[in-house]
Amino acid sequence: MFTFEIKHESGAARRGIFTTPHGPVETPAFMPVGTAGTVKGVTPAQLRATGAQMILANTYHLQLRPSADVVADLGGLHRFMAWDGPILTDSGGYQVFSLAEINRITDDGVEFRSHIDGASLRLDARSATEVQNKLGADVIMAFDQCPPLPCDTETLRVVVERTIRWARVCKETHARDDQALFGIVQGGIDAGLRRHCAEALIEIGFDGYAIGGLSVGESHAEMAAILPAITAALPKNRPRYLMGVGMPRDILAAVQAGVDLFDCVLPTRNGRNSQAFTRTGLLRMRNEKHRLDAGPLERDCDCETCRNFSRGYIRHLFNAGEMLGPTLTSIHNLRFFQRFLARIRELIPAGNPATIVNEFPIAAMESNTDNEEVS
């Protein structure tokens, strides 16, 4: 049910097709994040219109509410979300990092204190896999521990060994042939630990391999330096997924290192906070300079927002507290990321994906959040 075929290569960068039970995904691909079973503020039809091929949902959040049993009773995650394309579910390992203040980690698993009502939720390698089997996504993730960076070597070593042990249990527990199981390589920015983790996961055997534990405190330069060492240790014939990384500059560096799949909350999180991505930087839509601007968010964008609404109108929506403002800006941002990845896919056969910075200067900016669009 799952195949991965590389169509073109340019250095380490590769363009391919990842085939799943719910359709093919052209890679490199960006997956919008639908944490609780919805990409915030947009309908599945609007999401599909942005060019999204595959989306992500989260085990921890869906198990808290409504629970995997409820999702299964309602027909599984695809029917529950009314999304007929491929879905990936994270295992909850990232919440081990992001919700560190409300969890307790042991070698056996993680005890969470619900961020909603304080109730206890336990996830371990076995239960996280069983929950994902019930949810029914096309791709499920092994349960891992995501450490913060910077992190001392001894702590990283403990995290890596724990992640490997948990990965073995996940593989033993996984019970559905119609779901691909990906292992997650941890090890911070320590190349030796990353290679050790990758080799151990390859020995266990997974359908794809993810790179976790980046974009958690390291610099762009540190990320760019470690990625080639990680991808070089991974099988060429399996998809590679860099988890939670979404800044255009980081995506470009990862593509050049041989990564195929990406996800991030940035398109909708920034959209809800009145920030629109453009080729040349971010637009801050509450700014006075947009008040009388009759032009679209981006002149060459074909999204629903840019075809129908002006900057002045969108600024008005945010300043009036209207929910349509975040929705329209999120639609544009989601389309921006799909356009960015689609252009990278076009440039790989041409031989130099790095030239995308000539068309998307934002991909060369040190800090996208510090750069107002040049217009």
Cβ contact 241:261 at 8 Å: yes
Cα–Cα distance, 333 to 151 (Å, whole number): 33
Give the Å distances, CA to CA, from 275 to 48, 107, 187, 260, 272. Answer: 21, 41, 33, 27, 7
Give the Å distances, CA to CA, from 44 to 25, 48, 63, 87. Answer: 17, 6, 21, 12
Residues designated catalytic? 90, 263
Cα–Cα distance, 192 to 325 (Å, whole number): 47
Cα–Cα distance, 141 to 27 (Å, whole number): 19
Query: Residue-wise over 304-338: b if at least 16 C-beta within 10 A, else e?
Result: bbbeebbbebbbebbeeeeeebbbbbbbbbbbbbb
- Number of C-alpha atoms within 13 angstroms, CB side, residue 207? 23
Cβ contact 258:224 at 8 Å: no
Q: Which two tokens stand for residue 105?
A: 């980690």
How many CB atoms lie under 10 A from the CB of residue 245?
21
CA neighbor of 368 nearest in space, from 288, 269, 287, 291: 269
